[in-house]
Structure 1
């Protein structure tokens, strides 16, 4: 287990090839779950946990790991399942999402697999409001659920979504009533809602796509009816999405004569490991880490 992430820095070459690596783990039961290796900083045997008064009930406790105090979230309980009781026999996945570091308590960690985003599919329709899947894939004949971690974290500690009044005022001077809509591509329902709320504060309309493939199809449909820059002001895209990731979406936009001049902002929870050279290689105009409404609003103001 100690060496499971030793080569994580070498894995960055997969990004931009519409591929990713998933760390597989289990909670209570046989169901396998997956998390992107790029969001994982460390995997370790669950350390001694310290309880805190008035903590969120989904937080098992806090641990001091390499000089940093980290909240340890019971991933099973946070998804409505049975809590993980035997912490001494469990593992903690230390991850970085949206500029924060937290630990996820899991029952067992299996292995890392290499998959193509095309084999990562959206969750089944009708999965329900309380569904925590952002995507699914099949490994060894079994369904692996890829979790919407942003949704889980938002329910435990909602992020600020208000925009600084000064930025709102600056954008208002750009005459937002005449601005064209923004296309948002993101597979997380929470992330889409956060972006839409920020754009609404700025007086901007949004068109929403749930992954890169759907976004590209929508863009090409729009371009078939007339110049795309007369219909959209920009694209704000997540990087991690089923069927087509944000890097591939950006590259496809740049390679399509009808779309190549679109302004593209990549907006991702991969806050600790993004590859600036790759962002420039695929042709994105800007790259910002989720989720900071003022930074997103400022990036949109700059684009407009």
Structure 2
């Protein structure tokens, strides 16, 4: 276990290597789950938890860690399964998503694996609308399920999805109606949040589930002889996605001369450890952290005004 903990501390400093490193863990039973190491700040034995009356049942309590108070969520309960009963032998994975720190209570932590995004695939069809997966992969002939943490967080602690009153002028709102934006994100809840925000701004939204799907779509447009700018005002893409990540998607767009000038914004919950140099290296026009409706709407509004 010490080796796993040391590896987490070292590898969370790595960003922009265009690969996926998964921390494998179990909740209850034999099923193995994965979480991106870039989102992990620390792994530790379950500390003493202080129960907060009136909190969401998924939150088992708060823990005082490194001079801070962090909510600890039961990964079993969060994904619609049985909660953990043996806290003395449980572990907590401390993560950072969208600029906020929280811990996830799990039954056991195994190891870190290094994989290519091509080895990560969308959840199988028939999984159901309410599943908590963004992707699956196979390790040592065993299925590994990658958790949609953004869905969990949205259910446990809903965030404001409304654009602040007065932020968008009526002129921009009217001009936005003439434009279409492509959004790319593997998280169903993230796609809904982004779509709702941009539709309230006034633009038409087309959404794709991963980078490969988006690339094939854009490539087909270019093959027809159309300019991407004539079809979409811009693209807002997540970075971590199965099949093809946002870095690779952006690199391919920039390498195709037919797509020159297409406006690309990368949008990620990797806010805490994000390496802006990598965004510049792949040629994205900008980066914004998830999910602040005012920031996202402001970014798209500026693009509307410049078109």
Q: Give the TM-score range, shorter chain.
A: over 0.9
Q: Is the 8 A contact 1:40 1:93 kept in 2?
A: yes
CA–CA separation in structure 2 for the residues paired with 1:4 and 1:258 = 42
- Show the counterpart of 2:223: 224
Give the TM-score normalised by structure 1.
0.96
For residue 168 of structure 1, what is the aligned residue in structure 2? 168
| Structure 2 length-normalised TM | 0.95
Q: Secondary structure at the match of 2:92?
A: strand
Instruction: Flag as ranges the 4+ runs of structure 1 deviating above 4 A.
Output: none
CA deviations 1:102-144 (Å, max 9, x no partner) are: 0000000000000000000000011102211100000000000
Taking the aligned partners of 2:53 and 2:9, their CA distance within structure 1 comes to 36
Q: Distance in 1 between matches of 2:195 and 2:153?
A: 18
Distance 1:110 1:260 in 2: 44
Mapped pair 1:3 → 2:2: no
Secondary structure of the structure 2 residue equivalent to 1:33: strand
Q: Name the structure 2 match of 1:185.
A: 184
Q: Deviations over 1:67-115 (max 9, x none)?
A: 1000000000111111101111100000001111000000000000000
Structure 1 CA distance for aligned equivalents of residues 171 and 262 of structure 2: 20
> CA 1:275–1:174 in 2, change beyond 3 Å: closer, same or farther?
farther
State the 1:299 CA deviation: 1.0
Q: In 1, Cα distance between the equivalents of 2:109 and 2:220?
A: 43
CA distance in 2, matches of 1:232, 1:90: 48
Q: What is the CA RMSD across the aligned residues, in angstroms?
A: 1.3
Alpha carbons 1:168, 1:202 under 8 Å: kept: yes
Q: 1: CA distance between counterparts of 2:171 and 2:104? A: 39
Unaligned runs of 5+ in 1: none
Query: Deviation at 1:177?
Result: 2.5
Question: Aligned residue for 1:253?
Answer: 253
Partner SS state of residue 168, structure 2: helix
Name the counterpart of 1:96.
96
**What CA deviation, in whole Å up to 9, does each residue of 1:202-231 have, x standing for no partner?**
111111110000001111112233121111
Name the count of aligned residue pairs.
Answer: 300
Distance 2:12 2:78 in 1: 30
* Alpha-carbon separation, structure 2, partners of 1:170 and 1:274: 34
